């Protein structure tokens, strides 16, 4: 029996090997994670590591949410894709807004009026006619002109699982009321818009509307007026804000101010749909170049070209180098170029990086563990791709983010805070001692530039060269900044009353406390590095690592001493950075964004002057004064501005870093033929190691088989 | 037996209540409703008013366990614990703090978890039992010793190594399977081959050693000697008699985890981007989504109770001497 079984088994094994071998001969790209046939569409493959929490434009506020909704929703304005410095341009608006200043009586006053005379500012926005919403069941109408799906019965809802289960879709023209309706939604307390509290301070009638609409069904919001926001006619609306706030225009380029048809709320708020997760937060409805065709953020999200998308053209102007870099080849052509965008969930960096190298992702960032594989430093301190990347035709693009990471001192703290000479010198000494050049080199693979002040490059007011450096921490020598010697820091310590870092109260090393959420073992090297920086001054740094919640609580109550914090600019204006140090924004006193609780009357006064000004020489000078005050007072150790490294395959075209625009996908073009060739070339499967392993395994089994046969023939002892 | 099952279900109620209270207390020791609101609302431009609004909207503006301001039974019912827990016992998991229906999410995500865990369990069991029997077959020989050394070696290696090594070798070097991802229906197979193989391989060391111990114990018993005396071959003795008699401890280990297969594998799902319940739980913990954490812990407890019950029932099927009373 056993010999029969083994013969039969042998036959099966041989058949299986032949079958696998034959199948394998016909197959290429066995590792392809996508469908081979994309139906001739131009498809872009990207990844995301964290699922978006919200796709509702009134709520979404994070980068991973904007990656999707900025392609779907269209505010009236957008950032020009190619021009720098960043500038706004109409998107659905037909022109830039007409801005009128009004006095307390509501009468128009001239553009040159004093800020104190301006009681209100009107933004008159004209939108283009003939723009249409994407096809959507909420807009579907039957032959009698009634909405098909606005009165669903429980049994109808029972049979539904996704939005795709609705057979009919409809569309309609975008009108000014849709923008007005969305602003009302921002004010609706039920929606919890993150900018509601800010807008209360600016938009006239926003707060009153918020109170009135508290108990209202969302779709009914359209019938409640908001005094400061009115549709003048079908294609024009007006937003009235309190006083003068020039930065308001930047908010109008954010998805918060995208249009929303009231029908969307009427449709989605039907009882039972939310139980099926069919909500506006999950299935957007916009006018943008793409619509969300599949929303499964646990696996993938798919954007398809919106068939109703209006006529928008690739820009014809840009910076001087743009033409040379091939960025104007598509000038004047209709957008978007890509038919389908597939976002795959990729939580781990190793599979993500491997798929990029195999050509299954078109672009990639660079994680720390693959940095050396991708990047090499050139002799003059520059960066370049490694030879293996160049062989694949991969392109590198770097850009300085409009962000800042800094070390903050709690200005309410008795030791490091306050405006005393001693505390200031202590902070200045620490600013010299903490060598952020070394930090960038060790912990960020050189991906960052030293911050010399509050403003990152690319934002108005940023100064380069000798004039732009922090002279309290750096010297300008041989046309470059050089960190001051540690002896100067020690001198400052002595002047502050801490000779050799000794605290005169205890006659022992000064102890300072560093509050952080870096609790993992991976964070230990960086924490040790911080300790060593303070040791240069004889200071003993105690790391107080806590979880995120406790850390936030310490920040709110002012129980921290030194900490690391960061800010990413919402819009390209210095006001959005200097406000982090504006006294009335103190975190402890007013729950604002001034995390160090810095308060300087002169700074606050200059800030109030600067924030409402248009960009001109006077404003520039005010900005430099503000920088100088902060450098002198040193409530922050200016850390660094992160440098973003992105890799693109050779078939990825029209890519220019734009840190303000989130709707960049419509400009991207993919050479699908080149991609298919490269993928084929890079992903030929290897079978011989498998066969070798199998033979090795069989050879290992041979003595076992022999031993078994011998044992089976043995007589029982 | 019916009575026994009913009694076990009744025992489960205080157990589940206890688990629920424990989860609730542990969660709220670490996270206050304010913390949860801050996590959900993001970091920019958050005011006390917006936090209060969020808590009100999501029902976190009530006292945790006891509402002293209310009268009668509302002292208990008007609390976060009561409001958030009662639905669980009716399997109404409610809405997550980010606004998604948890029941619908669980229904959707349990299938990928099952698609990964079930083949891993079945193939793993088959491989482990087979190799364990082979080791017993070659007991007291150099093959057994070599097998034990190999098992201990395999056990000593971290499962992360198997995952990363498997991805590197099979997907990056040999390019035989996608390195990560998932798809619906039969298209999922090519994504599951590698994680299943790795899952099986990483469990071989401990699995084989465990089953070998069980079989070695059985193989010394009298009935085995009798079987040999009847003239049965060693393979017939092992596969027909020893295996069957060793089923009770095998079942103890296997049946109890069957219902838990729905809960998914935390690491495997994360590394292979499989959209199962394991990654759902981890994401919820990271985002401090109490509604999901509570629902998943409750579900895990229920499934574990069911698993234990199934184990008891399965005893009666494999061993006629066992009676449930």
Is A357 within a domain?
no
pLDDT at A716: 55
Considering only the beta carbons, identify the residue of B100, B175, B287 that sits closest to A686: B175
Name the one residue in this structure whose structure tokens are 């100067």: A488
Between B318 and A20, the higher pLDDT residue = B318
When mean pLDDT is compared across A11-25, B149-163, B233-247, the lowest value belongs to A11-25
Chain B: nearest CA to A185, how far in angstroms?
A: 15
pLDDT at A116: 85
Tell me the per-residue pLDDT of A275-297, one tens digit each, with 9 for 90 and over: 888 999 999 999 999 999 998 88
Chain A contact set for B272 (CB, 8 A):
351
Phi, psi of A642 (to 5 degrees): -65, 145
CB-based contacts of B215, cutoff 8 Å, min separation 6:
B132, B133, B136, B238, B242, B243, B246
When mean pLDDT is compared across A201-210, A231-240, A451-460, B315-324, the lowest value belongs to B315-324
Residues A469, A552: one domain? yes
Angle in degrees, CA B119, B123, B125, rounded to 5: 115
Tell me the per-residue pLDDT of A337-352, one tens digit each, with 9 for 90 and over: 999 999 999 988 999 9
Residues A102, A240: one domain? yes
pLDDT at B119: 94
Residues 545-564, chain A: which have Cβ within 8 Å of B? 547-549, 552-553
Indicate if the pLDDT at residue A73 is higher than 60. Answer: yes
Residues A469, A569: one domain? yes
Chain A contact set for B190 (CB, 8 A):
30
Phi, psi of A515 (to 5 degrees): -95, 130
The mean of the pLDDT values for chain A is: 91
pLDDT at A27: 56
Please indicate if any CB of chain B lies within 8 Å of the CB of A570. Answer: yes
First to last CA, chain A: 24
Which residues form the domain of A430?
Answer: 403-644
Chain A: nearest CA to B62, how far in angstroms?
A: 18
Is A269 within a domain?
yes
Chain B: nearest CA to A594, how far in angstroms?
A: 11
pLDDT at A717: 54
At B38, the pLDDT band (50, 70, 90 cuts) reads: confident
Residues A158, A106: one domain? yes
Angle in degrees, CA B209, B254, B264, rounded to 5: 105
Closest CA to A327 of A375, A254, A384, A397: A397
Residues A193, A114: one domain? yes
Mean pLDDT of A662-679: 95
When mean pLDDT is compared across A153-157, A492-496, B284-288, the lowest value belongs to B284-288
Is A531 within a domain?
yes
Residues A273, A407: one domain? no
Is A379 within a domain?
no
Chain B: nearest CA to A300, how far in angstroms?
A: 9
Residues A506, A565: one domain? yes
Residues A640, A689: one domain? no
- Does pTM top 0.90 for this prediction? no
Is A148 within a domain?
yes
- What does the alpha-carbon distance between residue B81 and residue B87 come to, in Å, rounded to a whole number? 11
Indicate if the pLDDT at residue A5 is higher than 50. Answer: no
Considering only the beta carbons, identify the residue of B35, B138, B172 that sits closest to A354: B172
Q: Which long-range contacts (CB under 8 A, 24 or more apart) does A595-598 make?
A: A595/A408, A595/A555, A595/A563, A595/A565, A596/A408, A596/A409, A596/A410, A596/A411, A596/A635, A596/A636, A597/A410, A597/A411, A597/A412, A597/A417, A597/A558, A598/A411, A598/A630, A598/A633, A598/A635
Indicate if the pLDDT at residue B238 is higher than 90. Answer: no
Cα dihedral A496/A502/A506/A507 (nearest 10): -120
Residues A435, A504: one domain? yes
Chain A: nearest CA to B172, how far in angstroms?
A: 7
Please indicate if any CB of chain B lies within 8 Å of the CB of A369. Answer: no
Considering only the beta carbons, identify the residue of A189, A281, A707 that sits closest to B99: A281
Indicate if the pLDDT at residue A22 is higher than 50. Answer: no
Residue A33: helix, strand or coil by DSSP? Answer: coil
Tell me the per-residue pLDDT of A189-232, one tens digit each, with 9 for 90 and over: 888 898 998 899 999 999 999 988 877 777 788 899 999 999 99
pLDDT at A3: 43
pLDDT at B166: 94
Boundary-marking domain end, from A279, A308, A333: A279
Residues A200, A271: one domain? yes
CATH of the domain at A109: 3.90.76.10
CB contact under 8 A, A277 and B178: no
Chain A contact set for B33 (CB, 8 A):
none
Indicate if the pLDDT at residue A128 is higher than 50. Answer: yes
Indicate if the pLDDT at residue A648 is higher than 70. Answer: yes
Range from A53-62, A250-259, A374-383 that averages highest in pLDDT: A250-259
**Percent of chain B as helix, strand, coil, to the nearest 5:** 75, 0, 25
Mean pLDDT of A324-342: 95
User: CB contacts < 8 Å between A and B, how many?
Assistant: 157
CATH of the domain at A638: 3.10.105.10
- What does the alpha-carbon distance between residue A538 and residue A498 come to, in Å, rounded to a whole number? 9
Considering only the beta carbons, identify the residue of B49, B109, B174 that sits closest to A298: B109
Report chain B's C-alpha Rg in angstroms: 25
Phi, psi of A171 (to 5 degrees): -145, 170
ipTM: 0.83
pLDDT at A18: 45
Chain A contact set for B167 (CB, 8 A):
350-351, 354
CB contact under 8 A, A31 and B177: yes
The mean of the pLDDT values for chain B is: 86
Boundary-marking domain end, from A614, A644, A674: A644
Q: What are the beta bridge partners of residue A77?
A: A90
Indicate if the pLDDT at residue A373 is higher than 60. Answer: yes
Q: What percent of chain A has pLDDT over 90?
A: 75
Please indicate if any CB of chain B lies within 8 Å of the CB of A347. Answer: yes
Indicate if the pLDDT at residue A316 is higher than 70. Answer: yes
Tell me the per-residue pLDDT of A680-689, one tens digit each, with 9 for 90 and over: 999 999 999 9
Considering only the beta carbons, identify the residue of A31, A54, A299 that sits closest to B176: A31
Residues A697, A566: one domain? no
Indicate if the pLDDT at residue A21 is higher than 50. Answer: no
Name the one residue in this structure whose structure tokens are 């002892």: A717
Nearest CA in chain B to A710: B138
Mean pLDDT of A17-45: 70
- What does the alpha-carbon distance between residue A659 and residue A662 come to, in Å, rounded to a whole number? 8
Mean pLDDT of A644-661: 94
Please indicate if any CB of chain B lies within 8 Å of the CB of A683. Answer: yes
Between A219 and A235, the higher pLDDT residue = A235
pLDDT at A58: 95
Name the one residue in this structure whose structure tokens are 């998932």: B182
Mean pLDDT of A13-29: 51
Indicate if the pLDDT at residue A16 is higher than 60. Answer: no
pLDDT at B58: 82
Nearest CA in chain B to A343: B181
Boundary-marking domain end, from A254, A279, A304: A279
Range from A105-109, A434-438, B22-26, B73-77 that averages highest in pLDDT: A434-438
Chain B: nearest CA to A602, how far in angstroms?
A: 25
Is A44 within a domain?
no
Q: What percent of chain A has pLDDT over 70?
A: 95
Between A547 and A187, the higher pLDDT residue = A187
Per the CB < 8 A criterion, the answer to whether A359 and A341 are in contact is: no
CB contact under 8 A, B273 and A547: no
At A13, the pLDDT band (50, 70, 90 cuts) reads: low
At B324, the pLDDT band (50, 70, 90 cuts) reads: low
Residues A583, A703: one domain? no
Q: Read off the tokens for A198.
A: 């800010």
Angle in degrees, CA B42, B48, B52, rounded to 5: 90
Considering only the beta carbons, identify the residue of A54, A552, A570 that sits closest to B38: A552
Is A43 within a domain?
no
Please indicate if any CB of chain B lies within 8 Å of the CB of A692. Answer: no
CB contact under 8 A, B104 and A279: no
Mean pLDDT of A587-616: 93
Please indicate if any CB of chain B lies within 8 Å of the CB of A520. Answer: no
Chain A contact set for B273 (CB, 8 A):
299, 344-348, 351
Nearest CA in chain B to A187: B50
Chain B: nearest CA to A179, how far in angstroms?
A: 23
pLDDT at A486: 96
Is A198 within a domain?
yes
Please indicate if any CB of chain B lies within 8 Å of the CB of A350. Answer: yes
Tell me the per-residue pLDDT of B181-221, one tens digit each, with 9 for 90 and over: 998 888 899 999 999 999 999 999 999 999 999 999 888 88
Domain count, chain A: 3
Domains along chain B? 2-89 (no CATH), 102-318 (1.10.3720.10)
When mean pLDDT is compared across A175-189, A235-249, A500-514, B35-49, the lowest value belongs to B35-49
Nearest CA in chain A to B267: A348
Mean pLDDT of A80-99: 95
Please indicate if any CB of chain B lies within 8 Å of the CB of A704. Answer: yes
Residues 285-314, chain A: which have Cβ within 8 Å of B? 296, 298-299
H or E element in which residue A230 lies: strand A229-233
CB contact under 8 A, A591 and B47: yes
Range from A19-33, A182-196, A596-610, B87-101 that averages highest in pLDDT: A596-610
Chain A contact set for B187 (CB, 8 A):
35
Range from A378-392, A614-628, B231-245, B250-264 that averages highest in pLDDT: A614-628
């Amino acid at each position: 029996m056993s010999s029969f079984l083994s013969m039969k088994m042998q036959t099966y094994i041989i058949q299986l090997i032949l079958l696998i071998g034959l199948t394998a001969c016909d197959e290429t790209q066995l590792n392809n994670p996508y469908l081979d046939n994309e139906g001739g569409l131009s498809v872009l493959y990207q990844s995301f590591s964290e699922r978006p929490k919200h796709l509702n434009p009134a709520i979404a506020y994070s980068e991973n949410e904007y990656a999707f909704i900025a392609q779907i929703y269209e505010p009236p304005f957008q950032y020009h894709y190619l021009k720098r410095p960043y500038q706004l341009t109409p998107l659905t608006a037909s022109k830039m807004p007409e801005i009128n200043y009004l006095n307390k009586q509501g009468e128009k006053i001239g553009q040159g009026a004093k800020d104190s005379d301006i009681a209100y500012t009107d933004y008159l926005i004209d939108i283009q006619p003939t723009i249409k919403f994407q096809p959507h069941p909420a807009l579907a109408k039957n032959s009698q002109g009634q909405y098909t799906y606005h009165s669903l019965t429980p049994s109808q809802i029972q049979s539904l699982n996704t939005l795709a289960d609705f057979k009919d879709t409809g569309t309609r023209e975008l009108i000014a009321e849709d923008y007005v309706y969305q602003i009302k939604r921002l004010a609706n307390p039920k929606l919890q818009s993150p900018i509601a509290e800010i807008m209360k301070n600016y938009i006239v009638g926003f707060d009153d509307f918020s109170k009135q609409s508290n108990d209202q069904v969302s779709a009914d919001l359209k019938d409640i007026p908001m005094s400061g926001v009115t549709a003048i006619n079908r294609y024009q609306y007006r937003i009235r804000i309190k006083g003068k706030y020039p930065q308001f225009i930047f908010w109008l380029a954010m998805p918060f101010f995208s249009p929303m048809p009231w029908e969307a709320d009427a449709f989605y708020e039907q009882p039972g749909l939310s139980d099926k997760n069919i909500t506006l937060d999950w299935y957007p409805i916009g006018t943008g170049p793409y619509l969300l065709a599949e929303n499964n953020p646990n696996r993938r999200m798919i954007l398809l070209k919106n068939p109703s998308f209006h006529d928008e053209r690739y820009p014809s102007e840009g910076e001087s180098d743009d033409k040379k870099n091939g960025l104007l080849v598509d000038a004047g052509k209709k957008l978007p170029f890509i038919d389908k965008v597939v976002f795959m969930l990729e939580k781990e960096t190793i599979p993500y990086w491997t798929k990029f190298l195999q050509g299954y992702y078109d672009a990639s960032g660079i994680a720390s563990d693959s940095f050396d594989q991708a990047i090499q430093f050139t002799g003059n301190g520059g960066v370049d791709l490694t030879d293996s990347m160049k062989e694949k035709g991969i392109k590198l693009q770097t850009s300085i983010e409009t962000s800042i990471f800094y070390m903050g001192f709690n200005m309410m703290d008795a030791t490091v805070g306050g405006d005393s000479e001693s505390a200031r010198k202590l902070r200045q000494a620490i600013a010299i001692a903490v060598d952020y050049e070394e930090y960038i080199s060790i912990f960020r693979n050189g991906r960052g530039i030293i911050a010399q002040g509050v403003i990152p490059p690319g934002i108005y007011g940023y100064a380069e060269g000798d004039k732009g450096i922090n002279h309290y921490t750096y010297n300008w020598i041989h046309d470059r900044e050089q960190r001051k010697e540690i002896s100067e820091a020690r001198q400052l310590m002595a002047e502050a009353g801490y000779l050799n870092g000794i605290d005169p109260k205890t006659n022992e090393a000064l102890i300072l406390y560093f509050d952080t959420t870096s609790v993992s073992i991976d964070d230990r090297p960086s924490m040790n590095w911080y300790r060593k920086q303070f040791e240069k001054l004889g200071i003993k740094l105690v790391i107080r690592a806590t979880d995120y919640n406790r850390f936030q609580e310490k920040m709110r109550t002012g129980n921290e001493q030194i900490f690391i914090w960061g800010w990413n600019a919402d819009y390209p204006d210095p006001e959005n950075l200097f406000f982090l140090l504006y006294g009335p924004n103190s975190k402890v006193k007013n729950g604002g964004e001034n995390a160090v609780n810095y308060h300087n009357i002169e700074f606050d006064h200059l800030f109030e002057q600067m924030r409402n000004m248009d960009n001109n020489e006077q404003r520039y000078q005010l900005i430099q004064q503000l920088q100088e005050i902060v450098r002198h007072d040193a409530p922050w150790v200016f850390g660094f501005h992160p440098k973003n490294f992105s890799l693109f395959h050779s078939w990825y075209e029209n890519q220019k870093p734009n840190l303000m625009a989130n709707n960049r996908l419509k400009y991207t073009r993919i050479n699908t033929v080149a991609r298919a060739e490269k993928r084929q070339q890079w992903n030929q499967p290897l079978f011989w190691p498998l066969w070798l392993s199998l033979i090795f395994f069989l050879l290992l089994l041979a003595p076992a088989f022999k031993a078994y046969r011998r044992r089976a023939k043995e007589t029982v002892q | 037996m019916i009575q026994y099952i009913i009694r076990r279900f009744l025992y489960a109620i205080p157990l589940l209540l206890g688990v629920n209270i424990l989860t609730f207390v542990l969660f709220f020791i670490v996270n206050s409703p304010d913390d949860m609101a801050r996590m959900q609302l993001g970091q920019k431009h958050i005011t006390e008013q917006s936090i209060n609004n969020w808590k009100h909207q999501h029902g976190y503006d009530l006292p945790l366990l006891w509402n002293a301001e209310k009268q009668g039974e509302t002292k208990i019912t008007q609390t976060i614990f009561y409001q958030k827990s009662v639905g669980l016992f009716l399997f109404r998991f409610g809405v997550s703090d980010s606004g998604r229906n948890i029941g619908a999410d669980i229904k959707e995500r349990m299938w990928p978890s099952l698609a990964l865990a079930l083949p891993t369990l079945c193939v793993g069991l088959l491989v482990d039992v087979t190799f364990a029997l082979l080791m017993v077959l070659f007991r007291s020989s150099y093959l057994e010793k070599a097998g034990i050394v190999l098992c201990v070696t395999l056990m000593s290696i971290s499962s992360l190594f198997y995952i990363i090594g498997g991805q590197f070798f099979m997907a990056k070097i040999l390019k035989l399977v996608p390195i990560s991802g998932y798809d619906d229906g039969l298209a999922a197979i090519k994504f599951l081959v590698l994680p299943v193989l790795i899952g099986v391989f990483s469990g071989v060391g401990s699995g084989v050693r465990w089953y070998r111990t069980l079989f070695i114990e059985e193989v010394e018993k009298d009935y085995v000697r009798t079987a040999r005396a009847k003239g049965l071959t060693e393979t017939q003795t092992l596969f027909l008699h020893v295996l069957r008699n060793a089923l009770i401890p095998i079942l103890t280990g296997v049946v109890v985890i069957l219902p838990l297969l729905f809960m998914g594998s935390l690491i495997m799902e994360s590394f292979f981007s499989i959209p199962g319940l394991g990654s759902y739980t981890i994401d919820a913990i990271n985002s401090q989504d109490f509604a999901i954490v509570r629902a998943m812990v409750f579900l895990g407890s229920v499934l574990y109770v069911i698993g234990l019950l199934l184990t008891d029932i399965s005893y009666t099927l494999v061993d006629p001497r066992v009676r449930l009373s």
